[in-house]
Structure 1
Amino acid sequence: MHILAFGTWQRYHLPSSIREARVHDHQVTMSSISSPELRVIKRYEVSPPPGTVDDSTLSLTYLDLVWLTNGSVERVFFYPLAVSVSHFIDSVVPTLKSSLSAALRHFYPLAGKIRSSAASSDGYEIHYADGDSVPFTVAEYSGDFDDLSGDYPRPVNDFLPLLPELPPSSTDGDGLRVLALQATLFPECGVAVGFTVHHAACDGSSLIRFYSTWAAACAGAGVVVPPVIDRTVITDPDDLYSVFYNGFVKGQSIQSMMHQKAPPDAVLQSFTIGKNHIQKLKELVTQSGDLSFRCSTVVVAFAYVWVCHVKARLTEISNKRIFMAFAGDCRPRLKPPIPAGFFGNCISACVAEAKAWVLTNENGVVAAARLIGEAIEVFKDNPLKAAKELPELFKTLSEADSLTVAGSPMFKVYDVNFGWGKPKKVEIPSIAKTGAISAGQSRQEEGGVEIGLVRLKAEMQRFEKHFYDGLKMFE
């Protein structure tokens, strides 16, 4: 079971009155004069090699429409790299640019723009014209590389200077940009490679394929396996396009979401469930009785985090309905199956529901695992069985206490190597906008899971206590 999600189902949990934080032409100064500063060295527009890609139009499918009004997803990779500014500009940046161009030859829709379709009043498409490009910012930052790439609580606003923004469509005229990239040097310490992508263009699996292709080209390694860029492989016999258009898009804006500042005491922290603890959790669940599902790493990791989340917020949620929502890959389960290399969105929802008391009692993790495992089995049997109810389900999730997931341990983000070695840390700061958790492989050992979340300091401290106290029970 591949879990593929970006966690944008829940609309912004942070106060709407918070001002946007914008990256300006010369520098970003955060909360005070003494705060770290970002100096933009240069802004580039990087295109596929001239003449290598024909003009094309890629119609959005009903699975893309789910994400059309949900704004952007942000991820940043931290790589140790002890080089000077001059070396970075002269030697590293040219290779990043040329390899990005080479990768965009195969993933050219990322250089295109989302626009309304002239052929249909409710249609949307990604249009690519020869010369279209991806904004690529090169910058220098005076912040502390080791601090930002740590595990302990860090102000989530400190990540904003490392993340590029998608230009608003009003400045583009002919559509909404899909992808923006930024490489930020911490002199003599490391490089942060950040991206911002509009989710309607593709899901996490597709994006990581692109990112890995870019990195491999930069490192001079590997042969590119081109993605499958053909949205016609997804058929729509039940007219889900109309259902999703009316439920997700009609009357909504598809403008780019600008960065938003979080409250000053909102922090991002990482937690790892190691291989041994994963195994102990599996044993706990399997010893509880007959199972109708496979007790996988994802099942027990999500179950454990869900229980910790509920315990940390118990005074708020009382005995309300609570949800755990994540996405599963439809590619191998649609009929006929979709190629694994399909570029676009091909995910749908897995949802588990419980009452708070079920998860906070002595057997809470077992109960959570059973609910999550059974939801996955329903998905595997027919991922689109309840697709017509998705708009109403997403509305319920946005209004209820629900924990959603961004990323996946299946993506192997710590294997992405630009030739500088593996990343020290990978974060998804956009979870601050959604209340989701991020999930990825453990960078410390094979078989572990790394979880990231953004919470106000007081709630994060409660979560941390429940998380580590719970693991001690398995030692």
Structure 2
Amino acid sequence: MPVKPAGGHVGSTASPRSGCAGPQSITSPLGFGSGVSCQAQAARLAFTTTQVTMSSISSPELRIIGRYQVSPPPGTVDDSALSLAYLDLIWLHAGSVERVFFYPLAVSLSHFIDSVVPTLKSSLSAALRHFYPLAGKIRSSAASSDGYEIHYADGDSVPFTVAEYSGDFDDLSGDCPRPVNDLLPLLPELPPSSTDGDGLRVLALQATLFPECGVAVGVTVHHAACDGSSSIRFISAWAAACAGAGVVVPPVIDRTVITDPDDLYSVFYNGFVKGQSIQSMMHQKAPPDAVLQSFTIGKNHIQKLKELVTQSGDLSFRCSTVVVAFAYVWVCHVKARLTEISNKRIFMAFAADCRPRLKPPIPAGFFGNCISACVVEAKAWVLTNENGVVAAARLIGEAIEVFKDNPLKVAKELPELFKTLSEADSLSVAGSPMFKVYDVNFGWGKPKKVEITSIAKTGAISVAESRQEEGGVEIGLVRPKTVMQLFEKHFYDGLKMFD
């Protein structure tokens, strides 16, 4: 199997555990047991410890069990250079997107190492045969001075970390406010380009055991390699292979299917790329009081929000679940910060899929970036008055209709528009209810929770389908505790009006 140890446990910040006097259970300072003898543990692996100290409160402890490099099966993929298309260039300096999937799984550390990890590695290798660009590296193109490509050579690999964590599985995978910094150890970092010399890695993975409680699968992917739809297709393929659920459906790996009659490549290169160096966006510690919290708009409340909007008058747009969910959260966001932004122009930005709307249409299984931005603007007072949700829904819905008609209508304006968004008060969206992240099953059942932790560095909200009922929407956001408390009050007080 094409899995190689990474040559030691590089990057630890503490020495391996020591002092074992015999066949006793190894227990961390926070009191969780490994379930295997100290002698057996030492014979199998040399543990290293990473203590993540992010506040005055004792933080959970991460122990690195192993670092591996996982490749597609040898000889199954030819060397290739996949040129980045213009829609990839938008994200070349946007850094990584990080997701963590939490699965209840009551297994010991020994069972995890002996049974679960080998299956995860072999299935990852099988999935990478079809999604091989994720094992490659982004580099400057040899054929063009302004070109970039994902280069894959036989033997290229994905870093895969296996770890154990002393955090409380139920707390970290819950809905209540959780310290963001306690979640970051569950996500691997992309190696900086300087360590490789010949390009930037685009994918890193981590499987972390909470002994006798659960497993967290962390995914860090550079946005320039692919969008959310492609990323979830890969994770789903890996999970299906791990669960023995059948043959992986190969993606469409051909960037030439996206035509560029208006030379948007030059527009985006000059507006997003020129003069900058490629680098990965490493983990950034959030302020100590920053918390991640989840909120759900249930199917019943979604329906009542739709009725509120449709009863307001003739609509020139489809009043969808996404429209009302985005509108409601935008209003709550503005209300929570009204004292700061009462007279300001405020924006909301979200990605929309171009695949079915480009001419000619792009296959649904296209692997890469095939999204563009929808941006709406309003005055804060418009969204905080009695009809704020209706006003927000109209703005969002009408922007989506414009996008449907011509997804690239404002494409040439995107560099300047993104600059405006970075300087203004704006709320962006990561994820989509259409991705069906709660269907990703490694053979352990559906996830208890899925989080996009990279919203901690972007200020975006995360969006997914509700795991509780079909038709609902789950929202995640990271805010300082005081701001989160205001958002929570406006969120639940608003929904009570429909009860």
TM-score by length of 2: 0.89
* Preserved contact between residue 311 and residue 360 of structure 1 (Cα < 8 Å): yes
1:254 Cα deviation after fit: 1.3
Q: Are the equivalent residues in 2 in contact too, given 1:312–1:462 (CA < 8 A)?
A: yes
- State the Cα distance separating 1:253 from its structure 2 match: 2.3
Q: 1:133 aligns with which of 134, 154, 157?
A: 157
1:303 equivalenced with 2:334 (yes/no): no
Contact kept? 1:22, 1:259, Cα under 8 Å: no
Greater RCO, 1 or 2 (C-alpha within 8 Å, sep 6+): 1
Cα distance between partner residues in 2 of 1:433 and 1:337: 34
The alpha-carbon deviation at position 22 of structure 1 amounts to 25
Q: Call closer, same or farther: CA 1:173–1:210 in 2, change over 3 Å.
A: same
Mapped pair 1:5 → 2:31: yes
Distance between the aligned counterparts of 1:245 and 1:359, measured in 2? Answer: 36
CA distances 1:224-280 after superposition (whole Å, capped 9, x unpaired): 211000000001111100100010011122111111101000100000000000000
Q: Secondary structure at the match of 1:18?
A: helix
- The answer as to whether partners of 2:240 and 2:442 remain within 8 angstroms in 1 is yes
Check conservation: 1:156, 1:432, Cα contact below 8 A: yes
Give, in whole Å, the separation in 1 of the partners of 2:166 and 2:176: 20
SS at match of 1:64: helix
C-alpha contact (below 8 Å) 2:32/2:211 kept by paired residues: no
CA offsets, 1:68-103, max 9 Å, x none?
011111100000000000000000000000000000
| Aligned positions of 1:10-29 closer than 5 A | 27-29=51-53
Q: Partners of 1:278 and 1:94 in 2: how far apart?
A: 43
Deviation at 1:28, TM superposition (A): 4.0
Q: 1:34, CA displacement in angstroms?
A: 3.5
- For the pair 1:202 / 2:226, whether they are aligned, the reply is yes
In the alignment, the residues of structure 2 paired with residue 279 and residue 50 of structure 1 have an alpha-carbon distance, to the nearest angstrom, of 52
- Paired residues, number: 461
Q: For the residues of structure 2 that align with 1:400 and 1:364, how far apart are their CA atoms? A: 20
Q: How does 1:315-330 map to 2 (within 5 A)?
A: 315-330=339-354
- Deviations for 1:171-212, whole angstroms, at most 9, x for unmatched residues? 101100000000000000000000111000000000000000
SS of 2:209's equivalent? strand
Task: Work out the CA distance in 1 between the residues paired with 2:152 and 2:386.
Answer: 55
Whole-angstrom distance in 2 between the partners of 1:69 and 1:401: 21
Describe the SS at the equivalent of 2:237.
helix
CA distance in 2 between counterparts of 1:273 and 1:96 reads: 34
User: 2:286 is matched with which residue: 237, 244, 262?
Assistant: 262
**Aligned mates of 1:251, 1:6 — CA distance in 2:** 50
Structure 1 residues 53 and 103, CA gap change in structure 2 (3 angstroms): same
CA drift of 1:312 comes to 0.4
> Hey, what's the Cα distance between the residues in 2 that align with 1:56 and 1:33?
49
Change (3 A) 1:236 1:68: same
Which secondary structure does the structure 2 equivalent of 1:251 belong to? coil
**Residues 362-400 of structure 1: CA distance to partner in whole angstroms, max 9, x if unpaired?**
000001000000000000000001110000000011111
For residue 30 of structure 1, report the CA deviation from its aligned partner: 4.4
Q: 1:171–1:386: structure 2 CA closer, same or farther, 3 Å change rule?
A: same
Do the aligned partners of 1:269 and 1:453 also contact (CA within 8 Å) in 2? yes
> Could you tell me how far 1:6 is from its partner in structure 2?
35
Q: Give the Cα separation in 2 of the matches to 1:474 and 1:43.
A: 51
Return the match for 1:362 from 377, 386, 396.
Answer: 386
- More off after superposition, 350-359 vs 27-36: 27-36
Q: Secondary structure at the match of 2:42?
A: coil
Q: How many angstroms does 1:168 deviate by? A: 0.5
How far has the Cα of 1:5 moved from its partner?
A: 40
Q: What is the Cα deviation at residue 41 of structure 1?
A: 0.3
Q: Secondary structure at the match of 2:394?
A: helix
Higher Cα Rg, which structure = 2
CA distance in 2, matches of 1:138, 1:5: 20
Alpha-carbon spacing, 1:231–1:18, altered in 2? closer, same or farther (3 Å):
farther
Once the two structures are superposed, residues 398-454 of structure 1 have per-residue CA deviations (whole angstroms, 9 ceiling, x without a partner) of 111111000000000001000000000000110011110000000000000000000
- Could you tell me the percent identity over the aligned residues? 92
Give 1:124's match in structure 2, choosing from 142, 145, 148: 148
Once structures 1 and 2 are overlaid, which stretch shifts more, 304-313 or 248-257? 248-257
Q: 1:35 offset after TM fit, Å?
A: 2.3
Whether 1:350 and 2:368 are equivalent positions in the alignment is no
After superposition, the Cα gap between the structure-2 partners of 1:122 and 1:129, relative to the gap in structure 1 and judged at 3 Å, is: same
Q: For the structure 1 residues 148 and 18, does the alpha-carbon distance in structure 2 shift closer, same or farther, using more than 3 Å as the test?
A: farther
Is the alpha carbon distance of 1:239 and 1:366 closer, same or farther for their aligned partners in structure 2, counting shifts above 3 Å? same
After superposition, the Cα gap between the structure-2 partners of 1:309 and 1:210, relative to the gap in structure 1 and judged at 3 Å, is: same
- Counterpart contact for 1:18–1:262, Cα < 8 Å: no
Structure 2 partner of 1:12 = none
SS at match of 1:335: coil
User: In structure 1, what is the Cα distance between the partners aligned to 2:278 and 2:470?
Assistant: 40
Gap change, CA 1:215 and 1:29, over 3 Å in 2: same
Change (3 A) 1:97 1:430: same
Would the alpha carbon gap of residues 147 and 470 (structure 1) be closer, same or farther in structure 2, given more than 3 Å must change? same
Is contact 1:30–1:37 with CA below 8 Å preserved after alignment? no
Using the TM superposition, give the Cα deviation of residue 31 of structure 1 relative to its aligned residue in structure 2, in angstroms: 3.6
Contact 1:40 1:140 in 2 (8 A): yes
Tell me by how many angstroms 1:36 deviates.
1.4
Q: Structure 1 residue 133: deviation in Å?
A: 0.2
Corresponding residue SS for 2:183? helix
TM-score between both structures, scaled by the size of structure 1: 0.94
Q: Shift of residue 107 of structure 1? A: 0.2
CA contact (8 A) 2:296 2:472 kept: yes
- For the 8 Å contact 1:7–1:434, the answer to whether it is kept is no
Distance 1:41 1:91 in 2: 14
> Taking structure 1 as reference, are residues 21 and 455 closer, same or farther at Cα in structure 2, changes over 3 Å only?
farther
* Distance verdict in 2 for CA 1:397–1:465, change over 3 Å: same
